[in-house]
Amino acid sequence: MSAVSPLAQPEAWNLVAPEYVRELMPTFETFSREALLRAGVAQGTRVVDVATGPGTLALLAARDGARVTAVDFSPEMIAALRGRTAEAKLDVDILEGDGMALPFEANAFDAAFSMFGLMFFPDRARGFQELHRVLKPGGRAVVSSWTPFERSKELRAVYTRLWEQMGAKPSQPGAIPLSDPDTCQREMSSAGFTHVTVNEVEGSIDYPSTAAMVDATTRSSAPVVLARRALGPQWEPLLWSMHEYAQAELGPGPQRVTLTAYLTTGTRP
CATH number, domain with residue 137: 3.40.50.150
Residue 171 — pLDDT band, cuts 50, 70, 90?
A: low
Residue 3 — pLDDT band, cuts 50, 70, 90?
A: very low
CA pair distance 22, 10, nearest whole angstrom: 19
Q: Which domain holds residue 110?
A: 6-148+174-206+259-267
Q: What is the pLDDT of residue 5?
A: 65
Residue 2 — pLDDT band, cuts 50, 70, 90?
A: very low
* Lowest mean pLDDT segment, chosen from 58-67, 142-151, 163-172: 163-172
Overall average pLDDT of the 209-236 stretch: 91
250, part of any domain = no
245, part of any domain = no
The residues, ordered by sequence, that sit 6+ positions from 112 with a Cβ below 8 Å of its Cβ are: 47, 48, 50, 131, 134, 135, 139, 140, 141, 142
Q: Is the Cβ–Cβ distance between 224 and 214 less than 8 Å?
A: no
192, part of any domain = yes
CA pair distance 100, 186, nearest whole angstrom: 18
Say if residue 151's pLDDT is above 90: no
181, part of any domain = yes
160, part of any domain = no
Q: What is the pLDDT of residue 133?
A: 98
242, part of any domain = no
The residues, ordered by sequence, that sit 6+ positions from 150 with a Cβ below 8 Å of its Cβ are: 156, 170, 171
Say if residue 253's pLDDT is above 90: no
Half-sphere exposure of 65 (CA within 13 A, CB side): 4
Q: How many domains does the chain have?
A: 1
180, part of any domain = yes
CA pair distance 142, 102, nearest whole angstrom: 16
Q: How far is CA 75 from CA 25, 166, 167, in A?
A: 18, 28, 31
231, part of any domain = no
Backbone angles phi, psi at 253, to 5 degrees: 110, -175
% of the chain at pLDDT higher than 90: 75
Q: What is the pLDDT of residue 14?
A: 74
